[in-house]
Amino acid sequence: MSGMTISEKILAAHCGKDRVYPGDLIYARLDLILANDITAPIAIKEFQKIGARDVFDRQRIAFIPDHFTPQKDIKAAEQCKLLRDFSRHYNLGLYFEVGRMGIEHALLPEQGLVVPGDLVIGADSHTCTYGALGAFATGVGSTDVAAAMATGECWFKVPESMKFIFYGGLKKWVGGKDLILHVIGDIGVDGALYRAMEFEGETIRSLPMHGRLTMCNMAIEAGGKTGIIVPDEITEEYVRPRAKRPYKFYTSDPDASYVETREYDASKIEPLVACPHLPSNIKPARELTHITINQVVIGSCTNGRLEDLREAAMVIKGRKVHPDVRMIVIPATQQIYKEAMKEGLLEIFIEAEAVVSTPTCGPCLGGHMGILAKGERALATTNRNFVGRMGHPESEVYLSNPAVAAASAVLGRIGLPEELGLR
């Protein structure tokens, strides 16, 4: 009998079985349920429809208004009020109001509310981010969240697992964003459909947590059910000072079964850009230096962490944003905002004539704080570049890492830090 993957072990532990197999339908106990200001209102209405009298646990339901907040219009204000009223009514312990919040997938790991070994569902497709901590986390529909808020459980089909092995050191200005873009470019936007994408190898073992979070965040862009990394010393160092609950490190057995294994020489990967209108439409940044841009966005649940801001600041320090470009910097949480302020990063951006925003998903989904007009082009550190994603259906979004985005803001076109004399 073959061994189990980390994903199978976590799912088995949460449904009370010794083992599970890909394709099994299981009903499993949840450690955390998440919804935001777009998805929670639907879940709340469904919760009320099914006649539930109470939530299963006041400390395990996180409501985070982050998409259209601070509230951009009347409709957004009404949506957010639903979250606020429901949270007050049921006395939810994990409701995060404006001023105390952040982008959900940056906030929950930062606050130690998701820990290794957890089983997490969220009414947001990028819930798969938490796999970077060694949790099994996946996005679901709002009706699943409604039922889970009442019962504390959810049904799953155990996914097949794919393994992605990276070896070799990283080139300068290459990080987790480039590794995951390389994978998506290789297998396509449905190459891991309903599969657990497990990342491993020497490159991953030396990759800092912010890079791992970026990789797992974008597993969904390849169709993945989740992205996941077996926890190690880097995980322990990140989790220990933060964890609000006990945690458990699961590993994959050496003889675990994978539907497919792919190996990559990370030393050959260079800074990449996803061109419109798919995250799989990958080209090296150096081949796109003829593409002029109107807007640069640095932020989102993919690349709005402190390390991302540091990287962008390193590139743009002492320089100015190109006169034809708007640059919007969005720290992913209030804590990141505060630390970036203390380190002088925000001053660097403002001196460069960029604008710094309160934490919000904002422009990533065409919400607010940077909507594109017809014919405009943006380079963003976000995760999606579908048609109309950041505004007008005839606008274009390119995706990159923070260093390339910052260099491009200065150049007025897609470019590399090296072009600014940075080595």
Crossing angle (nearest 10°) for helices 142-151 and 40-49: 60
CB neighbour class for 323 (10 Å; exposed up to 12, middle 13-18, buried from 19): exposed
pLDDT digits (tens, 9 = 90+) for 173-192: 999 999 999 999 999 999 99
Check residue 2 and give its pLDDT.
86
pLDDT in tens, 351-392: 999 999 999 999 999 889 999 999 999 999 999 998 899 999
Angle at 273 between CA 181 and CA 128, to 5 degrees: 30
State the pLDDT at residue 65.
95
pLDDT tens-digit series, residues 264-308:
999 999 999 999 999 999 999 999 999 999 999 999 999 999 999
The confidence score (pLDDT) of residue 422 equals: 86
pLDDT of the residue at 117: 98
Comparing 54-58, 129-133, 364-368, the range with the smallest average pLDDT is: 364-368
Asked whether 301 and 270 are in contact (CB, 8 A), the reply is no
Burial readout 163-187 (b: 16 or more C-beta within 10 A, e: otherwise): bbbbeeebeebbbbbbbbbbbbbeb
Work out the percent of the chain whose per-residue pLDDT is above 90: 97
Residue 375 burial class via C-beta count within 10 angstroms: exposed 0-12, middle 13-18, buried 19 and up: exposed
Domains and CATH numbers, the chain: 6-264 (3.30.499.10), 271-420 (3.30.499.10)
- Rounded to the nearest integer, the mean pLDDT of the chain is 96
Mean pLDDT, rounded, for 160-166: 98
Q: How far apart are CA 115 and CA 105, in angstroms?
A: 13
Q: Which pLDDT band, with edges at 50, 70 and 90, does 1 fall under?
A: confident
pLDDT above 90: residue 423: no
Task: Spell out the residues 6+ positions from residue 74 whose beta carbon is closer than 8 angstroms to its own.
Answer: none
Q: Rounded to an integer, what distance in angstroms lies between the CA atom of residue 394 and that of residue 374? A: 5
In the chain, the percentage of residues whose pLDDT exceeds 70 is: 100
Residue in this structure with the two tokens 């919804």, named with its chain if needed: 35
Q: How confident is the model at residue 142 (pLDDT cuts 50, 70, 90)?
A: very high
Q: In the predicted model, what is the mean pLDDT of residues 46-56?
A: 94
In contact, 5 and 115? CB cutoff 8 Å: no
CB 191 within 8 Å of CB 166: no
Tell me the per-residue pLDDT of 195-208, one tens digit each, with 9 for 90 and over: 999 999 999 999 99
pLDDT at 316: 98
**332, 405 in Cβ contact below 8 A?**
no
Tens of pLDDT along 316-333? 999 999 999 999 999 999
Distance CA 26, CA 315 (A): 48
- Tell me the pLDDT band of 261, cut-offs 50, 70 and 90: very high
Closest CA to 147 of 75, 271, 55: 55
Contact 131/214 with Cβ under 8 angstroms?
A: no
Q: Quote the pLDDT of residue 387.
A: 87
Bridge partner residues of 197 (DSSP) = 162, 227
